[in-house]
Amino acid sequence: MAKYGEGDKRWIVEERPDGANVHNWHWAETDCLEWSRNLFSKHLSNLTILDGEGNLYVKTKKVEKVEGEAYVNVRKGKIIPGYEISLALSWEGEAKDSEGTSLLKAEGLVEIPYISDENAGEDPEFKVSVKDEGPIGKTLKDAVFAKGKRLILDKVRVFEETMAKGGPAKDELEVKKVAPKAQPGSNSNSNSNSAAAASSGTAAAAAAVANSAAKPKEEAKKKKKEGFKTITMTEKFSCRAKDLYEILMDENRWKGFTQSNARISKEVGGEFSIFDGSVTGVNVELQEAKLIVQKWRFGSWPDGIQSTVRLTLEEPEPGVTIVKLTHIDVPEEDRYGNSTVVENTERGWRDLIFHKIRAVFGFGI
């Protein structure tokens, strides 16, 4: 046993002499806020929005503000981006008459108050303001919103996709890759190598036969939904099972406890859309007060991917309901390469659905 104040060398992970984080086994975090400012400035400064259409001339000036946090975590070569950013950029515009005479020059701001890794792929809130609120100023402001929104949000999407690939840490990852070392004894004479190769020939042939026989089994295992996870949760509520079932299947109550738009069919085969359309799906099986089975899909997931949600409701005693959630085939990554899908989905069930139902309807235990 090591003495007090000393470490047992068998358990100490020493720093490598070359300082390399081999295969990025340890957490490596890169602050990306300043890099984010530079990227947004590069893509959003002096961006032409209108160049004479309707006698309007509008362009962005410069990025005025990028605040919040942005970072990339890397472990075992896996990239995990995180960011919560507010962005503001200035714009200028001019309206002319049919003869080219200037009617008004105006300035304003475009604000995107919340750009987050959790909402990557979705359109964030987009605000436009103008200093001159007269009729022509309002026309210029409306033009920035109508013509500039998609243009600017496409640049935000570039930021999201670049962060998903590692942002400023991507090049660093390439540099830090450690080249494999030559094996000891690799320069031994060729005769001994030839002898070793000959003696291992029979064993290699046998191994090849065994491997070919095992391959179908291995491939069958691989086909077993690689890149997908299952979420399971058990929650207890102080209410009748029929009341909780009704809340989960009623679009008006969904709107109430989530504070977002919802459309929910109560029929098997019927479609639903919740959280302002971020989640869509179809009812597969419904048993009142007992079971809800649905196909779920998030808008940020890769095309063609659907998960299955199974909610069983049990009432062991009157006024106490236990909900068991099984959410299968949740992809590990979204279409932009963000690898926080499972974590965000689990947190959404817990914080945005189950906890909100308890808080709004008073069903806490």
Indicate the pTM of the whole model: 0.47
pLDDT-above-90 percentage for the chain: 55
Ranges of H-type helices in 10-78: 33-44
pLDDT score of 280 more than 80:
yes
Strand order in the sheet with 263-264: 228-237, 320-331, 307-317, 291-298, 279-287, 271-274, 263-264
Q: CA–CA separation, 210 vs 78, rounded Å? A: 33
- What average pLDDT score do residues 158-171 get? 84
Q: Residues 144-162: pLDDT tens digits?
A: 999 999 999 999 999 999 9
Highest mean pLDDT among 147-151, 163-167, 215-219, 333-337: 147-151
pLDDT score of 187 more than 70:
no
Answer for the pair 60, 91: CB distance below 8 angstroms, yes or no. Answer: yes
- What average pLDDT score do residues 34-46 get? 94
Q: CA–CA separation, 101 vs 24, rounded Å? A: 61
Outline which parts of the chain fall under CATH 3.30.530.20: 228-361
What's the whole-number average pLDDT of the chain?
Answer: 82
Helix (H, G, I), strand (E, B) or coil at 259: coil
pLDDT score of 29 more than 50:
yes
Average the pLDDT over each of 20-24, 287-291, 331-335 and give the range with the smallest value.
20-24
Q: CA–CA separation, 79 vs 167, rounded Å? A: 10
Q: CA–CA separation, 335 vs 298, rounded Å? A: 10
Residues 6+ apart with CB under 8 A from 281: 271, 272, 294, 295, 296, 297, 306, 309
Q: CA–CA separation, 207 vs 303, rounded Å? A: 40
pLDDT score of 350 more than 90:
yes
pLDDT at 22: 45
Residues 6+ apart with CB under 8 A from 304: none
Outline which parts of the chain fall under CATH 3.15.10.20: 28-175
Rounded to 10 degrees, what is the CA torsion of 183, 189, 190, 193?
Answer: -50
Query: What is the CATH T-level fold of the domain 228-361, as seen in this structure?
Result: Alpha-D-Glucose-1,6-Bisphosphate; Chain A, domain 4 (3.30.530)
126: left (phi over 0), alpha (psi -120 to 50) or beta: beta
Helix (H, G, I), strand (E, B) or coil at 271: strand
- What average pLDDT score do residues 59-79 get? 86
Which of 3.15.10.20, 3.30.479.30, 3.30.360.10, 3.40.50.620 is the CATH number of 28-175? 3.15.10.20
Q: Residues 192-244: pLDDT tens digits?
A: 454 444 445 555 555 554 455 445 545 544 444 688 999 999 999 999 999 99
Q: CA–CA separation, 282 vs 293, rounded Å? A: 9
